[in-house]
Amino acid sequence: MKQILHITSGDIAGDRLAKSSIPGDVFVWHDILYDGPRKPGWPDDATLDARAGFLEESTGGGLSKQYVLETLKTQYAKLKTASDYNTLVLWFDACLFDQSMLCHILACMRFLGNEHAELLCIDAFPGIDPYHGLGQLSPGQLASMYSQRQSLTPDQFLFAERVDRAFALQDQAEFKKLVDAEAPLPWISAAVTRWMEEYPDKVTGLGKLESLALEAICSGLETPVEIFSFVAARETPPQYWGDITLWEKINALADRQPPLVKIEGPNARLPQWESITDLKLFRVHPNE
């Protein structure tokens, strides 16, 4: 038996965990489990193919479908090996991105018949305000939290399966129940509430993130960095999105008919993944 496997959600957090004094292997999970086509629980081949296509589109082609598909298959293969370790430790934030991912992983583990894991969900850290997530912590700070991990209970695995099903099916009636539920995973209510705010407003047709981006642009902010700072300052911690998601929302504003914003720069859209095109060359304006 191998000793310890750590699974977390961000490359920065994973890198710092690997550099900490905590023993064990570190594996980083990648996916946007609160959105996109999928079935609840363990995915079949059709689900993996659909998600790979969705993530290629969500990143503006920055991640190819084939690359995403290979990544997803590697992730689920790794999860199958979790029972080869004496201990599985899950490191996740309290945000929408991480909580939907955590619940999906727990639902998949339950499918595999493995309900043995420890959880570290760090929703605050002394001296860091606002605190958004594990990526803000140094290797030493991560190590200082290790003793606070808790063994997950059967009720938590069962509840996670319920949450994963709601996200997979985009079940709004169930989302409303989860907001008010006495949750074995106490961060779910806030995460689900934040996701429901992304549903289109009945008047404007915009979700919260799109609305904040448009507000920033209409206030006279033009550069992607300025817009990001404006929106982040008005987001409720913990922030679940990063620059790629925000650029996607701004591009969507430009794609609407009629367009709500216009993008000026080397390309017609902001790059949604690593690009040789410098973001400093772009300007975004209201479409007057």
What is the CATH number for 229? 1.10.10
**Of 196, 216, 233, at which residue does a domain stop?**
196
pLDDT in tens, the chain (288 residues): 689 999 999 999 999 999 999 999 999 999 999 999 999 999 999 999 999 999 999 988 889 999 999 999 999 999 999 999 999 999 999 999 999 999 999 999 999 999 999 999 999 999 999 999 999 999 999 999 999 999 999 999 999 999 999 999 999 999 999 999 889 999 999 999 999 999 999 999 999 999 999 999 999 999 999 999 999 999 999 999 999 999 999 999 999 999 999 999 999 999 988 777 899 999 999 998
One domain, residues 144 and 272: no
One domain, residues 167 and 225: no
One domain, residues 137 and 261: no
One domain, residues 12 and 140: yes
DSSP string, the chain: -EEEEEEES-HHHHHHHHHSS--SEEEE----TTSSS--SSS--HHHHHHHHHHHHHHTTTSS-HHHHHHHHHHHHHHHHGGGGEEEEEEEE-SSHHHHHHHHHHHHHHHHTT----EEEE---BTTBSS---GGGS-HHHHHHHGGG-EEPPHHHHHHHHHHHHHHHHT-HHHHHHHHHS--SSTTHHHHHHHHHTTSPPTTT---HHHHHHHHHHHTT--SHHHHHHHHHHHSPSSP---HHHHHHHHHHHHHSSS-SEEEESSSSS---S--SS-GGG-EEEE--
Number of domains in the chain: 2
| Residue 221 falls inside a structural domain | yes
pTM, 2 dp: 0.95
Domain hosting residue 247, numbered range: 208-286
One domain, residues 247 and 274: yes
| Residue 244 falls inside a structural domain | yes
| Residue 213 falls inside a structural domain | yes
**pLDDT one-digit tens code per residue, 236-264:** 999 999 999 999 999 999 999 999 999 99
One domain, residues 255 and 178: no
One domain, residues 105 and 240: no
One domain, residues 127 and 149: yes
One domain, residues 15 and 48: yes
| Residue 83 falls inside a structural domain | yes
